[in-house]
Structure 1
Amino acid sequence: MTDRHPLDLPELRPLWSAVHDRLSSGRPVTRVRSGPLDDAGREALADLLGLDRLPGAEPTIPLAGLDGAVLDACGRPVRDVVTAILGPIRDRAAERELAAGRREALWGWLAGHDVVTAQPVLLEWVGHLRTNGLVDGSPDRTRSLLTAALTVLAALPAGGEPLPVLAARLLDGDSHALDDGTRLSSLVLRALAVLYGTDLPDVAEGRRALWSRAGVADDQLSSTVLAAGLRLDGDGPVARVSRICAEAGHPVSLTLAQLRTPGDFTGPAGPVHITENPSVLALALRRFGHHCPPLVCTSGWPNTAVIHLLRRLADNGASLHYHGDFDGEGIRIAAHVLAKTGAVPWRMASDDYRTAAPRVPSGPDPGRLTAAPWDQALVDSMAELRTAVVEEVVADLLLDDLANHRHG
């Protein structure tokens, strides 16, 4: 058993606690206030300091005087004494500085993550999290939770999997990791709300709808993709119906169910152009008919069927080229399509916008703007001109581009 320090007296414990606490601040200390001391404590302090009368119940003691008295009493400085009695002295100032540095590093890591930089609107999500502090109490635990959230976001839109199946596949077999009400589920849903520009749902039905919009347990029949000129090789049903429609100069609407069991098909190996709005696809069919080049429409925010088809086409060697509206929502949709499919921008640069804007001198305001990862100057130009340019305004330019790729 370790012997107690000779100055470790019950009546002096309030004094040693006060000294230990002040020294642990990590800041310069010249005086220490102790107490409240009972009569025995006041007598013990008077004896230690060599006072000719009792101090008050809550005395303020110069640290230098106390240090000298402790040296005379036991030959050790007061720092050694309180360490022996109460344990190591901390440096709370250094601890706070270290913790602040770790928090800054965490938020910097999150803001610079590939999932966020590919879709800069998610910086709003990062800002919300930063404002509200650590998600799980410590930088390390928070980073672990955010890593899981980013893993899920990178995999969305999903292919119609139920939520427990998606969770088990992505999160070490834990089918309950994304259950409603978990911290991880809340993190991902907040990111999806920011991405789609909606309010965070406060009821279970709304949360299920938001998951569905991201392709989780999606309806395989109502999730469809519209295309034209899609001549696919192969004998599978998707290839056959796409060829029939293309050769007749008609659009084809493919369901997620068809795309998930497409049968054998390949191609096209050349460029496939993508538009945001069905009206542009309709104009292309009117102009080119059965000569229409491969064209896929996202119909606004792409659903699971759209992403599924585009990824399959890219895997078959097609190069994907995307065009959408020049407004805030259109830029976010474009960033999403590029990030999820590997498509490249098609007439979506700052110069394209500046050339098109005079066509709509009294155009609508573009709304909430977020960065375009492919062209940092684009959103600056939109913020300057404050004019939205929808695809239909530049449809003639898009169709002229497509003319170089028409079939036959």
Structure 2
Amino acid sequence: MGNTSIGVRIRELRGRVLTQQQLADRAGVSVDLVRKLEQGIRQTASIGSLQRIARALDVDISELLGRPAGIPSTDPDAGIVAVRRVLTSVDDLLDDGDPTPGEASTLVDARRIVEYAWGAYWSGRYALLSAVLAPTLHQLRATARAANEGERAAAAELLARGLWVTGCSLVHLGQHDAAFLAVRQALAAAQGGSDELLSATLRGSVAWQLLGRGRYEEARRLAVRTAEAIEPLGDAPPTHLSAFGSLVLTAATAAARDQRSAEAAHLVGQADAVARRIGHDRRDYETYFGPSQVAMQRVDVAVVTEDYTTALTVARRMPRTPSLPLASRARHLADRALAHARLGHQQQALDILLSAERMAPDWMSHQTMPRRIVSELLARERPSRLRGLAERLGIFG
């Protein structure tokens, strides 16, 4: 069903089990929408409507959207091109009435689509995200515009979270300029809300993006300054501690990449103290923090500073059942694989990479580190398992 339209896929999934009216009733959408989609009169609908239709059909929304390539497209209404058009829209400058083409939804539905997008992100499903982000942003912007005074702050924060996940996803899809634009727009949207910790965490995301651009000193300063601004005093709640600790870890990562080894170690120690104070792994503001995240970052700092023996030693501190999202677990495996490869442990490095691929194949296909490790291993020996992995990652020669 990969190359067929959404309407055809709905009709095929509905089959002989449900009538159009029954599907509409189950999904809580109009039968006119179902009919127009199946007839090809409409090529898509809001993400909220598609999610309800998918639930009524007992499938994931990805089955309605097909299998997007997750790379730039020439189609202005699809994929990355559509996301970039949303981020650079000038509709508000044109006197054409409502500048937001999306369908406004309830806050409950808006929150649901934001949670879905973040779930896809932390599962490393970047190809799926390239298809859903543009309509998601349209819907969230329409919802924010239509919100009454009592809902305005919540709608603004949901728009900020939607723009934020867009920026994070675009980094992994190689769209760094658009990613930076998205997270800056997220910060602007968050100003319409009232959550200081959300704004601080978004600044941490800006610092993370600066890391990817090699702007380590700016990233470190931004993360440190933001952490200092929200440093918890007294008996702070876990949410506050988590936001602060996450910023400190970002600063540690930046310091390590800027070859400030002593400062990086100090900052990781500071984050570790916060994690111990919390006592368990948490997810607050779409960000994970706790003992598992600190353990993962200790390994990353050691790898970045080329202390590979220490990296493998501190990797043993990872809790037996880490509460990390799929993408973070795969990244941790890649760090360990790089340490083994640099120490000449080719077999261990390959075994770990294959484990990461089995765990998160979509994540692997969008990352540069696994490709770099595989290229290094190929220069030494070429067992069949390594050649197969290289081919799947698009490495030839």
Which TM bucket (shorter chain)? under 0.3
Greater RCO between the two (CA within 8 Å, min separation 6)?
Answer: 1
The TM-score, its normalising length taken from structure 1, stands at 0.24
Give the structure with the higher percent strand.
Answer: 1
**Greater helix share, structure number:** 2
